[in-house]
């Protein structure tokens, strides 16, 4: 088994009705639960706040926020376990984020083999 990080971008539903918001949460919870039941969920992860600081370069210049477009900002992450990259990608297809035009980046965690 290898570990993979899912990075979520975009997929904000904007001003959705309470009913739609509730349904969206229920879809996410069902997906997480399903991953957990199949033994793929290592850490369900956390959402990330939209604000923050960017520290850059040798001069350590500090600026406000991740400057990317809203749709490119990482909104959260999840750590999963899968056989290989293709299985991890397969798992990501069930993510409800796609209904709202978001994306999932699937990144293998490097193995620390000697």
Query: Could you list the residues that contact other proteins (CB under 8 A)?
Result: 13, 15-22, 24-26, 28-29, 32, 44-47, 75-76, 78, 96
Q: Is the CB of 33 or the CB of 56 nearer to other proteins?
A: 33
The distance of closest approach from Cβ of residue 75 to other proteins in the complex, given in angstroms and rounded to an integer, is 7
Q: Is the CB of 26 or the CB of 86 nearer to other proteins?
A: 26
Provide the sign of the torsion angle of the four alpha carbons 75, 79, 80, 86, taken in this order. Answer: positive
The distance of closest approach from Cβ of residue 114 to other proteins in the complex, given in angstroms and rounded to an integer, is 34
The pair of structure tokens assigned to 49 is 């706040």
CA 34/CA 87 separation, integer angstroms: 15
CB distance 43 to 11 below 8 Å: no
In the three-class reduction of DSSP (H, G, I as helix; E, B as strand; rest coil), residue 55 is classed as strand
Q: Is the CB of 46 or the CB of 59 nearer to other proteins?
A: 46
């Amino acid at each position: 088994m290898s570990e993979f990080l899912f990075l979520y971008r975009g997929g904000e539903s904007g001003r959705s009705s309470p009913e739609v918001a509730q349904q969206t949460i229920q879809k996410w919870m069902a997906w997480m639960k399903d991953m957990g039941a199949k033994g793929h969920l290592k850490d369900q992860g956390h959402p990330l706040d939209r604000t923050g600081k960017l520290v850059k370069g040798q001069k350590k210049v500090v600026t406000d926020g991740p400057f990317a477009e809203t749709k490119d900002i990482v909104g959260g992450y999840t750590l999963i376990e899968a056989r290989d990259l293709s299985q991890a990608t397969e798992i990501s297809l069930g993510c409800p984020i796609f209904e709202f035009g978001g994306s999932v980046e699937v990144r293998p965690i490097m193995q620390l083999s000697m």
